[in-house]
A and B are shown apart, each in its own frame.
Chain A
Amino acid sequence: NFMLTQPHSVSESPGKTVTISCTRSSGSIASNYVQWYQQRPGSSPTIVIYEDNQRPFGVPDRFSGSIDSSFNSASLTISGLKTEDEGDYHCQSYDSNNVVFGGGTKLTVL
């Protein structure tokens, strides 16, 4: 099985842009789609990006996803940061019948 590694925390000011990385330890990042979940304090996760770069209905276009095979990583970019974007962000992928989560990144908007 592989692991997904995320930074523990990131912080940025309102209105700015932040990018959160998710690096796959083995196997190609392009082999299996990556999803991103937002988890606000005290709440369950909700999906903000699926299939590497697709936004579910209702997720603002300030959220975007991408993969970079040269770094074997996926990224979540949030532009025009708002205080409501604060929370934990988790990347997720899969392999055969196993689901794998990254360790989560705490986003602070200050």
Chain B
Amino acid sequence: QVQLQESGPGLVKPSQTLSLTCSVSGGSISSGDFLWSWIRQPPGKGLEWIGHIYYSENTYYNPSLKSRVTISIETSKSQFSLKLSSVTAADSAVYYCARVGATLPLLDSWGQGTLVTVSS
């Protein structure tokens, strides 16, 4: 059973860059059957897909966030990462990493989520 775990700072200052890492265990991050995704959920609100990455480093981003997002992958460490630049209070949310099917984009395994607050 694959497991995902987010890590990174819980507090980021406005205008700075949010950086999170997702560690994958119990399954291969290099499998061609899956992509690796970031999703966020502001307090009391719905889920928002941020983007995902394939083991080959092909990336796909939400058009509304594309100008500020970078997702990268380190297969040797079984990790993938999120960078979101120029953050504001509106970027405060629980950030989840998840595994996505490559042929059918369903998110079958999720991390527990990590709360990131943007505040000075």
Contacts and interface: CB of A to CB of B under 8 A. Distances in A.
A24 interface: no
B45 interface: yes
Contacts, number: 54
B104 A46 contact: no
A14 interface: no
Contacts of B63: 1, 98
Interface of B: 37, 39, 45-49, 52, 60, 62-63, 96, 100, 104-108, 110-113
A45 B99 CA distance: 12
A44 B60 contact: no
B49 A90 contact: no
Interface residues of A, number: 21
A65 interface: no
Contact of B46 (A1, A35, A44, A90): A90
Contact of A44 (B48, B49, B104, B113): B113
B37 A44 contact: no
B107 A92 contact: yes
Given A99-B62, A99-B105, A101-B49, 11 more contacts: A44-B110, A44-B111, A47-B107, A51-B106, A90-B47, A92-B106, A99-B49, A99-B52, A101-B39, A102-B46, A103-B46
